[in-house]
Amino acid sequence: MLKHWWIVLVSLVFVTTWLVRSVDDDLIIPPEDELKIPDYTLKQFNSTRMDESGQLKSQLTAVDMIHYPNVNTSITKPNMVFYKDKQPLWTVQAENGELSPEANQFWLLGDATLQQYSDKPIKVISRDLWVKIDTEYAYTNAPTTIISYFGETKSNGMRMFMPIEQIELLSKVRGHYVLQ
């Protein structure tokens, strides 16, 4: 039996090595920049964005904001107002939202409402809306309802270009209009 002690020793080395490697794999901690740990939070905040000439471009208010380094910022009950010539043009609201790290893209998660400020306002109701803040472009694939002075239009998905007040309906468009 003592003649084969080296087989037992080699077997123990292999088993120990295997155990150490399997335990180490479970204990690997991701780099700090990959952890989703907030670096600051804000409550009841208001953020104002100006254009190159110093004119008011947009304002974002929300109940709660949780900022994460290098990943999207989480926002509760966001309300964003876009301005044109110092006048409010559109308001965008949602249950929740996420703002990109560069603060140029905004995902409105859950029910979302867009309200136009004009003599004959338009209200757009949808879900899960993507907004490019710099170009004031909004997009969704979700069912969308547009309520205006003349009636109601429904579609699956839409694209909106807020500065030129243009809405493109993507598919299955149905409308009900009342002429006055």
pLDDT attached to residue 154: 87
Determine the average pLDDT of the residues in 103-126.
85
Determine the average pLDDT of the residues in 63-76.
87
Residue 25's SS3 state is helix
DSSP line for 31-70: PGGGS---SEEEEEEEEEEE-TTS-EEEEEEEEEEEE-TT
pTM to 2 decimal places: 0.70
| Burial label, 88 (beta-carbon count in 10 A; 0-12, 13-18, 19+) | middle
Residue 179's SS3 state is coil
From the options 2.60.450.10, 1.10.357.10, 3.40.640.10, 3.40.50.300, give the CATH code of 33-177: 2.60.450.10
Determine the average pLDDT of the residues in 165-171.
80
Q: Is the pLDDT higher at 4 or at 172?
A: 172
